[in-house]
Chains A and B, each alone.
Chain A
Amino acid sequence: MLDDPELAEMAADDIARLEQRIAELDDELQILLLPKDPRDEANLYLEVRAGTGGDEAAIFAGDLFRMYARYAERRRWQVEILSENPGEHGGYKEIVARVEGKGAYSRLKFESGTHRVQRVPETESQGRIHTSAATVAILPELDEIEAIEINPADLKVDTFRASGAGGQHVNKTDSAIRITHLPTGTVVECQDERSQHKNRARAMSLLQARLTDEAQSKQAAAQAESRRLQVGSGDRSQRIRTYNFPQGRITDHRVNLTLYRLPEIMQGDLDELVDTLTREHQADQLQALGHA
């Protein structure tokens, strides 16, 4: 049979094609064998805070929040704002929201960190380009089993109900709750639920997520792991991304990815970015397994 040159050529083609296929399947298999992040399906708390840069940073924090809200909408996730502290010229000094939906954490977990913006701010009359920043934190919502024990005696609960007599004297729809965890000084607020009871439950859940995140960040720092993608409990001060408006580009510094479609991305078209980060993260994991 090998004497038939036509057949030999066909076989050689097949071998080359199938060998490539083996390599592909091998990669796929390895990815499938990777330990799955048990939290990938979790809902999450999204926190966006204005960093350096004053009003412009707050406006940018608002732009980032809108970007995530639109991405969530595309994915049919529910976004519920827990608390917001608006900036003086728009946007937010801080906004905290809960995101609920299929695979929400798996898609957003690489977003934690400092996001930098370069553009001419709306508030700038001279037309100069400014650099400002906002930080994003993505905290998975924990189920009851994972939740750490919080001693009620360690909590200080404040309401924003008018100081004064309260009770029947006052009828205000303000049922916001602030909980301070005294040992760590962690403060959480929830103001957007329509009953105080629900605000309290939501604030407690957020506090759980924060305390767990803080504990894990410490642990990760202690292990001094130098992964490129600090997932979830990453270092918030790490600058992960730059949004350059004059050039219409977005650069993710962790994976050296630059995309020239900033307007679409700000409209919530995050999938290409997220897919790349997910792939790179898997590559890192594979490499780590190889070394082990």
Chain B
Amino acid sequence: MKLCTLTRTISSIIQPALSFRPNPGRPISFAAVSPTPQTPLYLRPAVFHDSLTELKKWHKWAKGLASSVGSAFLELDNGPDSTLLHRELDWLIQDAFQHRSDLNPDESLDDAGVVSLRVSLDDLYELWKQRIEGRRPFQYVVGCEHWRDLILSVEEGVLIPRPETEIIVDLVEEAVKESRELGSGLWADLGTGSGALAIGIVRLLEDSGRVVATDLSDIAVAVASYNVQRYGLQDRVAVRRGSWYESLQGDEGKLAGLVSNPPYIPSADIDGLQAEVCNHEPRLALDGGGDGMSDLLHLSSGAAMMLKPGGFFAFETNGDTQSEFLQDYMDTEMKGSFCRLKIVSDFTGIKRFLTGYRAR
């Protein structure tokens, strides 16, 4: 009973936030969105100042809001619980305050002290309200995602890279160690989103190694380019707009490696996902069609044409049945094209990835 009441209360609060929910069933158009990427909170100048008293008030309010969630979101749609939200609040402080210790009660700063911030106090209230009442993903709130040892800019319209996907970089590292010729070749990251995989991979390659990162979305192309430049890799990673292999014309049979985390969720499942995902993240990056396999199958067929003999690929899938189906498909339907097909599990034991090599 308690849960029902809370759910209703929360949904009535978030009504205004629903305005930025994409219209289900219609492909999202990014034409209206400014292609200038936002600067992540932690990189903005600390030009706002407010009194410690006011900030302590905000902190108390924010903690109370986080606590009020309890396990309601978790039970509702597998969303975050209070413990997680409290940790996110600490991270918000880490990113928004010039000195995070300013809020530390042990500090000698007296309450009349002035604290330097990267956002205004009003915005701090607004951001935390968006996080909890609007279920806006934390990474969009602070404008970045910590992924491997990278801090990547992310914003609405770009998929937030998941921890599972970090493993693809490990898989590429193994492949490059085993066969050194792969390290000096041309690689592709298809559907790059924030550019996470492209940036993670290019640093494993030799100086002559290059990565082409492609995405259909203008905003993803802008954000990936921003991230590539932040890491000073613009000479080695080319970001191109296009659907899958479209912008790789002329590179047929030349790729040393290919990675992708394509949309793989069956269309019908998307509306049941946690609010952070289904109301805020781009459907374009999630929806894999009726069985979730349409992009993976397209990528597999293209891999035979694009990879050079001995070239390596790694795809992320929805897990278990999808990776098994894909392995079987590439093994039998595309007989002779690939070898050493291997399913790799993620840390929770789900058969998440399929890797293999173009037959020589």
Contacts and interface: CB of A to CB of B under 8 A. Distances in A.
Contact of A168 (B106, B277, B350): B277
B318 A165 contact: yes
B148 A171 contact: no
B274 interface: yes
B347 A159 contact: yes
A174 B261 CA distance: 20
Contacts of B58: none
A70 B146 CA distance: 28
A195 B348 CA distance: 16
Nearest to A158: B347
A169 interface: yes
A166 B88 contact: no
B164 A173 contact: no
Given A173-B88, A194-B146, A198-B149, A167 B277 contact: no
Given A66-B106, A166-B319, A173-B138, A194 B164 contact: no
Interface residues of B, number: 43
A290 interface: no
Nearest to B265: A168
Interface in A133-180: 157-159, 161-175, 177
A157 B163 CA distance: 14
B91 A197 contact: no
Interface in B244-266: 261, 263-265
A198 B261 CA distance: 21
Given A157-B347, A171-B274, A173-B87, A164 B78 contact: yes
A161 B277 contact: no
A171 B147 CA distance: 13
Contacts of A165: 318-319, 350
A170 B162 contact: yes
Contact of B350 (A166, A171, A177): A166
Contacts of B264: 167-168
Interface in B60-81: 78-80
Nearest to B164: A167
A196 interface: yes
Contacts of B269: 169
Nearest to B280: A171
Contacts of A66: 106
Most buried by B among A158, A162, A168, A174: A168
Interface residues of chain A: helix, strand, loop or mixed (majority): loop
Interface in B136-168: 137-139, 146-150, 159-160, 162-166
B162 A171 contact: yes
Contacts of A198: 146, 148-149
Contacts of A161: 163-164, 347-348
A173 B352 contact: no
Contact of A162 (B78, B148, B265): B78
A196 B164 CA distance: 9
Interface string A177-207: 1000000000000001111111000000000
Interface in A70-92: 70
A158 B163 CA distance: 13
Max chain B C-beta neighbours (<10 A), residue from A157, A159, A193: A159
A245 B137 CA distance: 46
B84 A197 contact: no
Contacts of B146: 193-195, 198
Contacts of A173: 80, 84, 87-88, 91, 138-139
B286 interface: yes
A194 B348 contact: no
B276 interface: yes
Contacts of B80: 172-174
| Chain B CB within 10 A, most for which of A174, A197, A198 | A197
B148 A163 contact: no
Contacts of A164: 78
A168 B286 contact: yes
B163 A196 contact: yes
A224 to B, nearest CB: 42
A267 to B, nearest CB: 9
A261 B319 CA distance: 60
Contacts of A167: 162, 164-165, 264, 316, 318-319, 346, 350, 352
17 contacts: A158-B348, A161-B348, A163-B348, A164-B78, A167-B316, A167-B319, A168-B286, A170-B273, A171-B137, A172-B274, A173-B91, A175-B163, A195-B163, A196-B163, A196-B166, A197-B149, A197-B163
Q: Which 9 A-B pairs have the closest CB atoms?
A: A194-B146, A196-B163, A195-B146, A197-B148, A159-B347, A171-B276, A197-B166, A175-B163, A171-B277
Given A168-B318, A171-B137, 13 more contacts: A159-B348, A162-B78, A167-B352, A168-B264, A169-B265, A170-B273, A170-B277, A171-B139, A171-B274, A174-B84, A197-B147, A197-B148, A198-B149
